[in-house]
Amino acid sequence: MMRIALAFFLVLVVGMAYGQNEVVDVKVQGNKRTKTSFIKKITKLKAGMKLDSSLIEEDIYRLKRLPSVSHAYFQVFPANTEGDYNVFYGIEENFTLIPFASVYTSNNDEFAFRIGLQEFNVFGNNITLGGFYQRDVFNSIGAHLRAPYLFSNKLGLALSYQDLTTQEPVFLDAGTADYKYNNESFEVLGLYEINFKHRLEFGINFFTEDYRYLFGSTDPDVPQALNVNKHLFKFIYNYDAIKYYYQYLSGFKSTLNLQYVNSANEQLPEFVIGFNDFTYFFRVGQKGNWANRLRLGLSSNLDTPFAPFAVDNNLNIRGVGNTIDRGTAAIVLNTEYRHTLMDKDWFVLQSNIFVDGGTWRNPGGDFSDFGDDQNLRVYPGIGVRFIHKKIFNAIFRIDYGHGVTNGASKGIVFGIGQYF
């Protein structure tokens, strides 16, 4: 940190004393798999430009956010006797071929898992390519490609395919029914970076939903078999001002996701869904990190058992179980304190204390449902993180959540990566 501070001081002094001096060359060092041409493509400081500390700061910030980079720094050296300079960007790389897994269970002996493999630096251009297999009563698969700088330093593309099959509870007036639910989808998104804090995604998803009744309650107004082709238009706005220093994060991030869904079946009405995730991280001393996520979600208030917002172990409330309820609006708050117990050259052991809470609007209900104690879930808990500092997102987490509200359960959630 002292070296970075001194280097910034040097840049500021040089910028004031030699306002007309130029950057002769921008050099990259330390990178082995990430292509130098890619790094130069996405960074703003170029040869022939005036030495600019704000551009260097922005470039280092951008590099630290790349999956292939665990840490980045810069150095400035005189290039000639005329007062011009060479700028060196130093890269400490991550290992980027990463397996991932999510395993979750509850006191009802429910068990599900997802395993997969992702490469975050295909061709040395920070292109992500991955796939997964999921077992949640039934088998599911998926694959995705994400290339945010495919066409330029601002414009990219994302593609994904999923064939998901799960056993889903459907909540009827007479009780609960279980359906075999399949969703096969293909999605294409355009990715546009306004600047290093503001990003847009927009595109279309074509999918087929298939519901097959398995067992439980029935309702003459709810079909026992349903297969329908649908499509949705998606728009995502992402504001990201998070600052990274290895496992520590600080700053604010907001992600807005808007979708318009239409159906080939005239009996199924079109609907709109939107949700915003607000995330805030705060450093506490030298070893602490306070992390918070607030999700506000709202959809068309259709009186349907297939409402879009689920209450689920692996999505929002740790320990609650696998899809125990659904709603047409949601308020969810996750807050946790992460504390580093051990920090070695490559390994970090981190403890975690959290509270997950949320409430939902019933399908066809009104906003007063948020205050209904039948819809409120609060789950405090504890966890542990095993972190490899040289491998991107190599965080193995174990969390145990225990409910304290009406009808509460308890359970353990395993996974790769922080919960949020």
Q: What local confidence, expressed as pLDDT, does residue 102 receive?
A: 76
Contact in structure between 67 and 100 (CB atoms under 8 Å): no
Q: What local confidence, expressed as pLDDT, does residue 13 receive?
A: 52
Closest residue by Cα to residue 318 from 399, 396, 386: 399
Q: What local confidence, expressed as pLDDT, does residue 284 receive?
A: 97
Q: What local confidence, expressed as pLDDT, does residue 19 receive?
A: 47
For 299, half-sphere exposure in the C-beta direction (CA atoms, 13 angstrom radius) is 26
Beta carbons within 10 angstroms of residue 59's beta carbon = 22
Contact in structure between 96 and 110 (CB atoms under 8 Å): no
- Sequential DSSP letters for 79-98: -STTS-EEEEEEEEEPB-EE
> What global pTM score does this model have?
0.82
Q: Residue 85 corresponds to which amino acid?
A: Y
* Domain 2-93 class, CATH top level: alpha beta
Q: What local confidence, expressed as pLDDT, does residue 119 receive?
A: 96
Quick check: helix, strand or coil at residue 173?
coil
* Domain 97-416 class, CATH top level: mainly beta
Domain definitions of the chain by residue range: 2-93, 97-416
Q: Is 341 exposed, middle or buried (0-12, 13-18, 19+ CB in 10 A)?
A: exposed
Whole-angstrom Cα Rg for the chain: 24
pLDDT tens string, the chain, 420 residues long: the values are 445 455 545 554 544 444 458 999 999 999 999 999 999 999 999 999 999 999 999 999 899 989 999 899 999 999 888 889 999 999 999 999 988 877 765 444 567 788 999 999 999 999 999 999 999 889 999 999 999 999 999 999 999 999 999 888 887 878 888 899 999 999 999 999 998 899 999 999 999 999 999 999 988 888 889 899 999 999 999 999 998 888 999 999 999 999 999 988 876 789 999 999 999 999 999 999 999 999 999 999 998 877 889 888 878 999 988 777 789 999 999 999 999 999 998 899 999 999 999 999 999 999 999 999 889 999 999 999 999 988 877 899 999 999 999 888 898 888 888 999
Quick check: helix, strand or coil at residue 152?
coil
